[in-house]
Structure 1
Amino acid sequence: RRSGSNRDLDSASEFEMSDIFYFARRGVESIMDDEVTKRFSAEELESWNLLTRSNNNFHYISLRLTVLWGLGLLIRYGFLLPLRLKNFLSEKVHLMCYRICVRALTAIITYHDSENKPKNGGICVANHTSPIDVIILASDGCYAMVGQIHGGLMGVIQRSMVKACPHVWFERSEVKDRHLVAKRLSDHVEDKSKLPILIFPEGTCINNTSVMMFKKGSFEIGATVYPVAIKYDPRFGDAFWNSSKFGMVNYLLRMMSSWAIVCSVWYLPPMSREEGEDAVQFANRVKAAIARQGGLVDLFSLQKNRIFL
């Protein structure tokens, strides 16, 4: 105020300390409700989802809501958490056990093109030489397996495996069971959180010189197929299992007393049914790709060529 003014200094002043409160409050509100900063914290829910950690200002509301919260706590920590831990530990323990088996057989395995490894919700198909095909593949990744129920030692192993992972075992002689298996396979591949299914479409062990006809059942589901070619080197040990000549225990003794089990595994690019292609044609196309990559004889193509010749 200029000294020449006639106004009284004791009159109402032009500025008071309380005048800044409005602007300070708006500034603090802008900082707290910043559109960028709040993106780095948990989203504020309009309604409580019965998780204590999502409502830090939780206060007792009603007995009914408290009971619901207690039931949710019991389900989450008493059922869901152990189940998820079981799945996690099952995969880790399976890999460890299969790798121990591989070392017990003195197996020397070379994996090629690992970027094509089977993904969840898909079907892995491979040529079949021996029961240890499962160990060879499962030591590099976890699978849900489909196969025939066996007796003896093999049956004991199968019953133990199914307790930790949802494998599908069935009797081939029962037609109704095969339809049930097809239904279970479809349900399995539709769930992308489940392990890929491992199937040997030949249905029997072949001596690793050729690939026999693939059964079309696993190719009718419509899922993505991940072909795998397995080729053994017989110079160090013959991995072929002649089930009509040797039992499982005898066969394992032969394998463990050989020099080594040397093999190569190729993960081929995933394949799907083409437009207008039926299940048989799709199976033959996958089989031809496996035979070509593994250096095996495709018996279907050989027979077809002989017919035309």
Structure 2
Amino acid sequence: MLNALLSIYIGWLLGLVLTTVLLIIFGYDWGPLPHLYVKLVKFVQNFYPHNYPQTHTSWPAIIKQCDTSLLRKHRDDSLSSFYFSETPMLNVFDVCSDAFKAGFEAIIQDQLSVAFDSAPPFYSTLLEHPGRLPFLDTKHRISRRHIFGYFVALLFRYGVLLPIRLSLMFVSFIFSTTAIVAEYFMDMTDEQKLRVGIMNCRLFCAGIGLVAKYHNRQYRPKHPGIAVANHLSPNDIQAIYADIDPNNGYGFTVTGQRQTGLICFIETIAEKLIPTLWVERRSATDRKRFMD
């Protein structure tokens, strides 16, 4: 009985992985299903308490605020005003250390994080046991249904999402390696390289669980134009490259600083499949070649 269930489970996962790979290879996708999945996750999370701090101040950012503390802050009053939690104090040292830590959090501020919203805490995204709240006397109470939802989400993440995403990441690695070996022994055309690059980027994005919605596609650069954006990671580039229409016959030229180590290896792989232009900024020759 156990072997039969295990066989069904593995076969189901393999079916999902192979179907996803075939859809990507033939230029299709799952349609609205990934976006419906995101909506379902948001719907489930609405049943859990929202613990975002409420503030109307123009300067609410702290470098890194600790979620667990015996002090609670008057967010609507002042960034430097605190009152003690109603939980009985067990150790004077904990109170002193929390006050010391809160003082540093109130003093050390930056000029960047004020432009962004803080990420939701783990206990409101089902990524952490929901019984762990920052204040024991908080007005929110976690019910058994919340605990049940957490364990269901835990089984789904590690029993379904994790093996599927690892498999897709492995397939994307094998796909890119095979394409590089094939390009070494035979000269691939630019159109073939473009299609291989797009398929590899889409496999990678599927492996990391990316659900993207692309806007204003009419403003994409036209051939032979070039788009340059600073401080993009390889993941960002693959997400942008995955949206290229292979029927156009051209993609993006990836530019960047020539690096060493692992990044140099990734750059070497990339230049085998897609148009690249790596620049050593200290070299006048490279800078002139880039401008030309």
Larger radius of gyration: 1
Q: 1 or 2, which has the higher helix percentage?
A: 2
Structure 2 length-normalised TM: 0.32
Give TM-score, length-normalised by structure 1.
0.30
Q: Flag the structure with higher strand content.
A: 1
